């Protein structure tokens, strides 16, 4: 795959994904220790979430796939590792049975496990499509469906890690953006279904933060260009190096973990928590959401005037 440096870097910016200031600190867990399952907990955002919740006194069931990661997570205070590949139904079923047997119940589910790959629509293979949807969409649905009875029993919370890519679709990131747009619909539909049962559903929308996914994406980009050997064109190699460098320059995802804690335990949680490392990404996300509203309203039979649209916006802003 041949991408310009600018195109590749901007596509990667969008891989991590409403206005949000830094979430306020919350008190430690109450005496009746609440338990939370975090998928994809071995690194990046998932590990930060695990560390923050465990340090706050909550018990974390940390989902991971590799034996070394499971051992490392299990050694942490207030953490019990759980083998969990979100694409494997047997793993999910076994995780449900294991957590049921621990006796703590389950207050929260954090759907964090996710993957990303670059590529234009023309270049994306069925394998790449299946891979990203398998984890980012079908995996989220599979895990949520399996753990719903436990969450409903506790009248708890379901939080999904979305992305600002659920609002911004850029060239060469179409499949990833498709999966994150899907999480917007998933969140709103599930929230409506769960509200009568006392369960709160929300989504955290990160921008660009430092995680291992940058290196994984760079490796994937090199593989598409011909491998990691000397046969890779200089342009492709430079783009991959730029991806790694960009990722290394981003802040640690501590603010994302703080937003997740807020989403799980705040008395009056929001539906959406956008967390970006700079104002530029926040502005771009909101502009894209507003642009779609304007496009929907443009020259249709029941178009609204500017004044009416502003009034609708005022009404939306006034709602808690």
Q: Distance between CA 46 and CA 93 in Å, rounded?
A: 21
Q: Which of 131, 85, 271 is nearest to 191 (CA)?
A: 271
Q: Is 58 a catalytic residue?
A: no
Total residues found in the chain within this entry: 320
**Catalytic-role residue among 58, 61, 176, 273:** 176
Angle at Cα 267 formed by Cα 287 and Cα 262, nearest 5°? 50
Q: Which residues of 113-141 are buried (b: 16+ CB within 10 A; e: fewer)?
A: bbbbbbbbeeebeeebbebbbebbbbbbe
* CA 79 to each of CA 57, 167, 170, 190: distance values in angstroms, whole numbers, following the listed order: 10, 34, 38, 28
107 and 157 in contact (C-beta within 8 Å)?
Answer: yes
Mention every residue, 6+ apart, whose C-beta is less than 8 A from residue 74: 62, 80, 81
Q: Which of 39, 102, 111, 29 is nearest to 73 (CA)?
A: 39
Which spans in the chain are helix H?
A: 5-13, 44-55, 67-74, 89-102, 126-133, 140-154, 174-194, 213-225, 234-248, 254-265, 279-297, 306-318
Catalytic residues: 176
């Amino acid at each position: 795959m041949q991408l310009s440096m600018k195109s590749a870097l901007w596509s990667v910016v969008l891989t991590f994904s409403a206005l949000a200031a830094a979430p306020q600190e919350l008190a430690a867990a109450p005496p009746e220790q609440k338990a939370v399952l975090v998928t994809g907990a071995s690194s990046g955002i998932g590990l930060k979430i695990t560390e923050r919740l465990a340090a706050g006194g909550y018990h974390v069931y940390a989902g991971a796939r590799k034996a070394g990661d499971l051992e490392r997570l299990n050694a942490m205070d207030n953490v019990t590792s759980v083998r969990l590949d979100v694409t494997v139904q047997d793993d999910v079923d076994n995780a449900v049975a294991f957590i049921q047997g621990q006796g703590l119940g389950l207050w929260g589910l954090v759907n964090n496990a996710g993957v990303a790959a670059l590529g234009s629509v023309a270049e994306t293979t069925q394998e790449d499509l299946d891979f990203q949807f398998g984890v980012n969409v079908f995996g989220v649905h599979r895990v949520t469906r399996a753990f719903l009875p436990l969450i409903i029993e506790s009248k708890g919370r379901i939080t999904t890690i979305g992305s600002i890519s659920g609002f911004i679709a850029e060239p060469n990131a179409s499949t990833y953006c498709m999966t994150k747009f899907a999480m917007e619909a998933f969140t709103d539909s599930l929230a409506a279904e769960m509200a009568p049962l006392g369960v709160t559903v929300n989504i955290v929308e990160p921008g660009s933060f430092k995680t291992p996914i940058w290196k994984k994406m760079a490796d994937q980009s090199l593989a598409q260009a011909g491998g990691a050997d000397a046969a890779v064109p200089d342009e492709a190699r430079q783009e991959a190096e730029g991806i790694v460098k960009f990722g290394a320059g981003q802040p640690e995802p501590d603010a994302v973990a703080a937003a997740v804690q807020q989403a799980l335990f705040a008395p009056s949680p929001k539906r959406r928590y956008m967390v970006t490392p700079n104002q530029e990404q926040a502005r771009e996300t909101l502009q894209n959401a507003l642009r779609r509203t304007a496009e929907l309203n443009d020259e249709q039979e029941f178009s609204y005037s500017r004044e009416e649209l502003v009034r609708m916006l005022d009404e939306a802003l006034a709602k808690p």
